[in-house]
Structure 1
Amino acid sequence: MLTIAFFYLYEGVNQTNFSGKEQHFQVTVLPDSIRINGDQVQFYGKATCNQTKQTEKVIAFYRLKNEAEQLYWQRIDYPLKLVVIGELILPENNRNYGQFNYRQYLSQENCHWILQISTQKETQLQLKSLGSFSYRKKLFHIIDQKLPIKVASYLKALLFSERNDLSDDLVKNLKALGIVHLLSISGVHLQFLLNRVKYFLLRIGFTAETTGYFLIFIFPIYGYFAGWTVSVFRAIFMLLISLIAEKLMLRWSSLDSWSVVLIIAIWLNPSLIVTLGFQLSYLLSFVMILLSQNLFKKKQDSIIESVWISLVAMLVSIPILVCYFHEFSWISIVANIIVVPLVVHGLIPLLVILLMGLLTIGNTLLYTNFIKVVQFILMLFEWLIDAISFRSFYSIVTGVPFFYLLFVLFISLLVTFLAWESQKWKGTTSFILLCSFTLLSFQPILQPYGKVVVIDVGQGDALLIKQPFNKGNYLIDTGGAFHFKQEKWKQKIDPNHRIAEKILIPTLKAEGISNLDKVVITHSDTDHMGALLDLSKEIKIQELVFPKGGTAKKSFKEIVNQFVQKEIKVTEVLKGDVLFQTNNTYLKVLYPFEKGKGENNDSIVAYGKIGEFHWLFTGDLEKEGEEQLIAMYPTLKVDVLKVGHHGSNTSSHEPFLKQLEPKYGLISCGERNRFKHPRPEVLQRLTKYGVNIYRTDKSGAIYYQFDSKGETVGTHLFETMLK
């Protein structure tokens, strides 16, 4: 109760002291937090305002001026004190349903502001004392310099919880198999290391008592180098408490250790309790401790025990995973049985030997050849993971789960574990549990409402049309970011990859979508199709639709060719083609009239009835195209207009608006975009003709909901993420 009271007290004081108007700061950079992406550096630091002398934690961004400065930041392994001028920016809430909430995440880190540094006036270096020097980062520098990139990335991930350098594809494949936890140091890792260190020390002549004291001394040091992540903290302190209790001859159970470590962790950082890593780490270890008293103990065969442990871990983690990621992997039991032993008993010992060799024998011929062997084994491991992972096949997408389904699942799990433990009613409770998981898996087809969603993808277009009961899902454009030619050192991680992974895919999965019947690309500009390829790796696409002549642009043609190779249906459309049609909804192509070149005025213009309204989606159609459209359809009227070209002044001219008489205008554009869309002139014209305007840059994603009868659902016609 005291801990709970402290938690609420902490939440009350976890507030900012800055007003947001401060500009002059002294910032102490935390070296372990430095992340460099092209010409941008990001880090956490303690910022002290020169005027008010208030100090608090911030996350800072700074634009590097040259390659030499980039190299300088890469080598920093001690706290750095900067005198800077910058702007405080409030972190964003999620702008789409199901998207990562950056403001909430930073608040959990006791951080409330982004500091955008504009000028770095002065640099002072603190003394490299024992307390300030980052030996962890120094070790990483040595590893990066002495070992190949692949070997170094695995060594840092599996031994020190630093997984930033692992390839995205590997992490996604492990996630699809339900074994991404292998990249986090856990009790399994530490127990293995503990046993090996014990064995080694005893073999070289240490007594059992001396070995125990040595382990008590060495494990906190290892925890420092492993970054004291949630799972590392839990596992190491549970081991330390057990070792100390053993030395003091105390009757101390694993559950006692777990309980004490849990309370210590909450007191040190109460906000951890609402994080995924904390919940999974402590919940799984808690369940394993309880069941190990009898259920696991009765299973003598190691394979059977592995099956039971993997099954229990999967069942317990699913409710949490669907709350965070809106999906779970059904293959994780098999994957855990196959892959976990390979990692724990194969890769980790090799990497430990590799690290010891790096710190001792160095650049000898024997060690160099050993590195090559390890590199080859890692390549085989990645090949195996890639060969058995079919991301969309293994994942069951649930969408944001209904509360009552989670409640039923939780009760079913509890009753099932009790039945297994007591050896009573195992068949009945297992059947009930299976039914609960089946209901959760089929949740998307239980949703009676359809939606039209203007997804906020920044300066681009992406619009989802979802039919009731998941009977049809259609995506118009995918969003994307333009590439500008830069020097190699300035180049960042592909922004289109970020749009797909951080925005588009989570939004679709939150809606319970794992399959798109059609993806319609209105034209071949990057801001409309840039995220298409990354999207197709996670979400199954049945058919790709685009205007005839769209492949005139090389970048889009290459993507289309990849779709053809994957045997995905590819369709070119012109005026008169129907995109979809049901009893109450339809969408058909009004434009273009003839083959184009993928330019703005070759955009697909789609018209149809969805819910109670008639809609017109115009892509990036400009004035010349609009004139052709209203000339061809002189009686065309609409209720909802997706405003063309993100609100550019080249579109939405007066004759067009006058004829259509739209009641609502939806504009997809990026916040503070470089093109200054939507243009004031366009907003004035829309207002003149009585159009109610909704903008993603101001409101985030825009939602319209309807039922199977075609009637609008909800108290408001249009809901927005940012109120």
Structure 2
Amino acid sequence: MRGYLCFIAIFSLLIEVVLVTKFNWLSLVLSLIFLIRLYFLKKNTLFLTSCMIGLLTIAFFYLYEGANQTFLSGGEKHAQLTVLPDTIRINGDQVQFYGELACDQTKKTEKVMAFYRLKNEAEQRYWLGIVSKLRLVVDGELIVPENNRNLGQFNYRRYLAQEKCHWILRISAQKESRLQQKNIGTISYRKKLFRFIDQRLPTKVASYLKALLFSERTELSEDVVKNLKALGVVHLLSISGVHLQFLLSRVNYFLVRLGFTLETTGYCLIVFVPIYGYFAGWTVSVFRAILMLLISLIAKKLRLKWSSLDSWSIVVLFAIWLNPNSVMTLGFQLSYLLSFVMILLNQNPLKKKQTPIIESIWISLVAMLVSVPVLVCHFNEFSWFSIFANIMLVPLVVHGLIPLLVVLLVGLFLIGHTILYTGFISIVQFFLVTFERLIDEVSFRSFYLIVTGVPSFYLILITFSSLVVFFLAWESRKWTLTTSLLVLSSFLLLSLQPFLQPYGKVVIIDVGQGDSLLIKHPFNKGNYLIDTGGAVHFKQEKWKQKKDSNQKIAEKIVIPTLKAEGVSSLEKVIITHSDMDHMGALIDLAKEIKIKELVFPKGGTAKKAFKEIVHQLVKKEVKVTEALKGDVLFQTKTTYLKVVYPFEKGIGENNDSIVAYGKIGEFHWLFTGDLEKEGEEQLIAMYPSLKVDVLKIGHHGSNTSSHDPFLHQLNPKYGLISCGLNNRFKHPRPEVLQRLEKYKVNIYRTDKSGAIHYQFNKKGKTVGANVFETILK
């Protein structure tokens, strides 16, 4: 059966995809085609074994699904909670962690994601020091995790479900706490190691050591991660076979020098590998790399003829049996797909005829080609520069940075208090600073990344098919121009997808308690953003301060939404006024998305925070325009948008908001920013015959806006409200909703429905069965 195990593994993997995708037609067709292929191999044992393992895979799936159910009702208010110390994350005065919630009625425990607001700095230090399981008695509220509220946004509910977690617990009171007895099952030695490293090493050095040797990336600089992602080499931060081979070669060398025999050394490595897996966190890539290596070591000890492909096949089966849902994760798809392709490349006889440089270029090219369709499906973008970045950075990290960090870690335990070791830390720190400067210099994020938007299903199918044809041609040594052009054409279509979209869109992005609105013209002929959203900051003690929430809004909401729509640059960003909930995410948005022109009301820079942001954008050579009534924001044959307010210079307050009126699709629209009663009165006095079809309700539905005379004159058919779920201001106010209902306005709210979409074609006609589509149905 050796040499054919991959057929069994691939068939079981296809069956798993059928089950996880709820019998998607394409996965069914692919499974059937593969089964027919197995049958025509005319190897009865292989065919029957594949079918039996396939049935076993189905059984494991339904066993897993049966166990991955919640027994909690959601009404539990008081319970015992066991904290899992490895999962504790602290951000300012908020701590989050996975915990095991015990229900008194059923006597069962269930995994939940818990959030708790810390009361003081001493309590924060206490949570930072926890390395053992902690048992709490808590009061709180169970909440169902949300689905994504915007296109392209991370789906938190799906992620937690993959982690066998179905509830979020908001802890309101912690009544009792008790550390469990410290035995090997309750202490997190991984966390103890990290605490030891943090206490002895500078922050930057510690963060790289934990990331590259133990898969703990949470403390790495976000700019470093973004730069590596833009270059297409973020995989350097994941432990792979290359990492392990280097580490094992060092351990092997060390044991041999100590006088161990080769046989004893082999047994030591078999013990060392799973222990290292524990400290590396058993992530998807760690599990694959370590289990493959462990199987190979055991096979070598037993003198079995066992290939890397056989090891890969066994690990695939274990992985999909243990967690069927993992097949839909990016980590699984990239780790197993790339390792499979690399194994096939190493077995090809053509490899022996290549020079090391050509081999490196070829491997980088193949890795990029294979990973692009996967990355596009998850992130709606890919980096064309990854071939060159891999050639440049992989040797630097694998043969330079990792050896330094290994020596640093060993030295920490042996000579950690000596002057020699302190000098070595300085050398490593210098190396890391140089490394960061290098990737920062070569990383021009928007230049390297090709934004595709949410890819067409058929385009992804064509791309994968062309790659399969290309690799089959390469393996048979029939290099033809046709297969190369086929791959090139499919990638070109993928890259040009945003420019082939015949429909335009208006999208009210759900940014919580704020405003952000995208107007996208057909065929990508102009993209405009009205406001960026942002978080209002309140003065807090230093220990309470969280990571920049405006950065979070840009990175987690606005940027993914724009990229899902195929937007890589904006003709104009229109900031209606200088309040933080309308412009707070602007500077972080500009780091990822090219902004050609910034428009804001004249006098908007009277507010210091906005003035500083404008100054930074001017340095980036963004054109700056101060707008007043009469300015045209855009105009095409069928659409236009112009400024109808303010009439004079202001100071960036609500009644200085830019109000934009225009025709988009079949409707006349009015976007009002945070315009209040006084501004509304001035507007209808200036334009006594103004009528609109769609009104963006002012000030998130506050009672200071949308008054009777204003609504009476405009007579809108649709009202769009951008506000946060359960926001502290209780927007939209009941009085406003009553007035809108009085004038028979059809109301759409982001807090209830998520992002709101309107689609139109180049002729200005509405597209779709419904006028407006929402993300949360």
Q: TM-score, normalised by structure 2?
A: 0.92
Hey, what's the Cα distance between the residues in 2 that align with 1:127 and 1:264? 33
What is residue 174 of structure 2 aligned with on the other side?
120
Partner of residue 717, structure 2: 663
Q: Distance in 2 between matches of 1:135 and 1:250?
A: 35
Q: 1:277 aligns to what?
A: 331
Partner of 2:289: 235
- 1:48 to 2:93 alignment: no
Query: Counterpart of 1:69 in structure 2: which amino acid?
Result: E
CA distance in 2, matches of 1:367, 1:541: 47
2:403 aligned residue (340, 343, 349):
349
> What residue number does 1:644 align with?
698
Partner of 1:10: 64
- Aligned counterparts of 2:775 and 2:63: Cα–Cα separation in 1: 30
- Once the two structures are overlaid, the 10-residue window that deviates more, 133-142 or 300-309, is 300-309
Asked if 1:378 corresponds to 2:432, the answer is yes
Secondary structure of the equivalent of 1:297?
helix
Deviation at 1:229, TM superposition (A): 0.8
The counterpart of 2:643, out of the listed 567, 589, 595, is 589
- Quick one: which amino acid aligns to residue 194 of structure 2? F
Among 59, 62, 78, the alignment partner of 1:24 is 78
Matches within 5 A, 1:60-75: 60-75=114-129
Q: Which residue of 1 aligns with 2:525?
A: 471
Q: How does 1:20-169 map to 2 (within 5 A)?
A: 20-169=74-223
Most deviating of 145-154 and 287-296:
287-296
Q: Secondary structure at the match of 1:477?
A: strand
Match of 2:548, as an amino acid? D
Tell me how far apart the structure 2 counterparts of residues 643 and 102 of structure 1 sit (CA, whole Å).
29
Aligned partners of 1:326 and 1:400 also within 8 Å: yes
What is the CA distance between 1:361 and its match in structure 2? Answer: 1.1
For 1:243 and 1:6, the matched residues in 2 are separated by 27
Task: Name 2:233's counterpart in structure 1.
Answer: 179
TM-fit CA distance, 1:203: 3.5
User: 1:521 and 1:269 mapped to 2: Cα distance?
Assistant: 46
Give the distance between the partners of 2:190 and 2:466, measured in 1 at CA: 44
Q: Which residue of 2 aligns with 1:519?
A: 573
Higher mean displacement: 285-294 or 347-356 = 285-294
SS at match of 1:123: strand
Q: Which residue of 2 aligns with 1:395?
A: 449
SS in 1 for 2:150: coil
Matches within 5 A, 1:664-679: 664-679=718-733
- The aligned runs of 1:432-581 (5 Å cut-off) are 432-581=486-635
Q: 1:225-374 counterparts in 2 under 5 A?
A: 225-294=279-348, 297-374=351-428
C-alpha displacement at 1:362, in angstroms?
1.5
Aligned pairs, how many?
723
Partners in 2 of 1:304 and 1:200 — Cα distance? 33
| Corresponding residue for residue 459 of structure 2 | 405
1:291-335 residue CA offsets vs partner (Å, 9 max, x unmatched): 211166334421111111111111111111000000000000100
Deviations 1:63-94 (A, max 9, x none): 00000000000000011010111100010000
Query: Which deviations, in whole Å up to 9, do the C-alpha atoms of 1:25-54 show, x marking residues without a partner?
Result: 111111000000000000001101234433
The DSSP-based 3-state class of the residue aligned with 1:45 is strand
- Structure 1 residue 12 displacement after superposition: 4.4
Q: Could you tell me how far apart the structure 1 residues matched to 2:575 and 2:135 are?
A: 49
Tell me how far apart the structure 1 counterparts of residues 266 and 61 of structure 2 sit (CA, whole Å). 35
Structure 1 unaligned segments of length 5 or more: list them.
none
Once residues 295 and 47 of structure 1 are traced to their aligned partners in structure 2, the CA distance between those partners, rounded to angstroms, is 56
State the one-letter code of the partner of 1:508.
L
**Structure 2 SS opposite 1:411:** helix
Deviations 1:93-127 (A, max 9, x none): 00001110000000000000000000101011101
- Counterpart AA for 2:81: V
How far apart are 1:14 and its partner, in Å?
1.9
Letter in 2 for 1:575: K
Does residue 199 (structure 1) correspond to residue 253 (structure 2)? The answer is yes
CA separation of 1:572/1:299 partners in 2, compared to 1, >3 Å: closer, same or farther? farther
Letter of the aligned partner of 1:317 in structure 2?
S
SS class of match (1:464): strand
Report the alpha carbon displacement of residue 195 of structure 1 after superposing the two structures with TM.
Answer: 2.0
Give per-residue Cα distances to partners, 1:221-273, cap 9 Å, x unaligned.
11111011111111111111001101101111111101111111222222212
**What is the TM-score normalised by the length of structure 1?**
0.99
CA contact (8 A) 1:201 1:211 kept: yes
Alignment-mate amino acid for residue 425 of structure 2: I
| 8 Å CA contact retained: 1:40, 1:63 | yes
Tell me what 2:36 maps to: none
Q: Aligned Cα RMSD in Å?
A: 1.0
